[in-house]
Amino acid sequence: MRARLLAVLALLVLAAGAIVLTPRVRECPRAAPLDGLSTILAGWTDADGIPDEALPVDPSEVAAVRRTYRSGPRVAWISVALFTRQDDPQRRASINRIYAEQDVSRVERATLPAAGARPNAVVVSRRDRRVVVAYWYQIGSRTYASETRFRLALMREILLARRGDSLLARVAVPVDPDGVAASLASAAELAAALRVALLAGPGC
């Protein structure tokens, strides 16, 4: 009995030591991955600023690029936000701020008409307007659509590399009279160009 109690104590001390003595995570230089994001993406050109109600600001983001892109009559909004030191849960992107949630009557999962890596896509119905929102996460040179896979990858990154940085990229396209399919196609086109631009960026 006494030997077993001592064994339990030893295991507890080992666990406490592992928690206390592990070095803290390193922080990505602010805004480094967002530097130089092109103002022209696959024929879409930008104008600064987007309405908050289209893509809400997350108070945990340490840097962000938020732009309106236009291509002929089509309009789209993008937001790319950097989150650092996410071993602290308070510094993570909130899933409540991916899209505006107030007065939303319906959120429907959608699939973007794109080959290869597909981001998450939802059609958000809010009062008499609808918006397609596509979003994904990026850690280093890898992108993740699944929240679960992203969290697992972030855990691995924090544990093994002691880094806790990621980007949350979002593209919002208002649903036009041509229907959801046209808006999904626009979102897919801009999301693919944005993904390539972010992967080619300087990273952390």
Partner 1 sequence: MASTLGLYVPVLLGMAADWARFPSQSHGFAVPAIAAYLIWMRRGAIASAAPDGSRAAAAAGVAALIAALGALVIGSLTGETFLARASLPVALLGVALFVGGPGVLRHAWIGLAYLFFMVPLPYLTLKTLTYQSRLFDASATAAALRALGVPVLQDGVMLHLANMTLEVADECSSVPAIAALIALGVAYAQLHPRPTWVRVALALSAAPLGLAANIMRLILTSLAAYTLGPIALSNVIHRFGGTTVFLATILLLLLVDRVLTPLSPAPTPGAARARG
State the residues that interact with partner 1 by CB under 8 A: 1, 4-5, 7-9, 11-12, 14-16, 18-19, 22, 86-89, 92, 95-96, 103-107, 125, 147-148, 151, 154-155, 158-159, 164
Whichever of 7 and 31 has its CB closer to partner 1, that residue is 7
SS3 21: helix
Nearer to partner 1, 37 or 204 (CB): 204
Q: Which is nearer to partner 1, 18 or 115 (CB)?
A: 18
> Of 104, 109, 110, whose CA–CA distance to 128 is shortest?
104
Taking the alpha carbons of 116, 201, 186, 66 in that order, is the dihedral positive or negative?
positive
Largest CA distance in the chain: 79
Q: Which is nearer to partner 1, 73 or 148 (CB)?
A: 148
Task: Supply the minimum distance, in Å, between the C-beta of residue 191 and partner 1.
Answer: 22
**Shortest spacing between CB 103 and partner 1, in angstroms:** 8
Q: In angstroms, what is the minimal distance from the CB of 143 to partner 1?
A: 19
**C-alpha dihedral (9, 15, 20, 26), degrees to nearest 10:** 180
> In degrees, to the nearest 5, what angle opens at C-alpha 41 toward C-alphas 36 and 42?
150
Q: 103, 87, 94: which is closest to 154 by C-alpha?
A: 87
- Smallest gap from Cβ 127 to partner 1, in A, equals 10
Query: Of 69 and 83, which CB lies nearer to partner 1 in the complex structure?
Result: 83
CB of 53 to partner 1, least distance (A): 17
Alpha-helix runs per DSSP H in the chain: 2-21, 147-156, 180-199
CB of 24 to partner 1, least distance (A): 10
Nearer to partner 1, 101 or 178 (CB): 101
Measured distance CA(94)–CA(152) in Å, rounded: 16
* Lookup: tokens for 103: 């007065």
Consecutive H or E run containing 12: helix 2-21
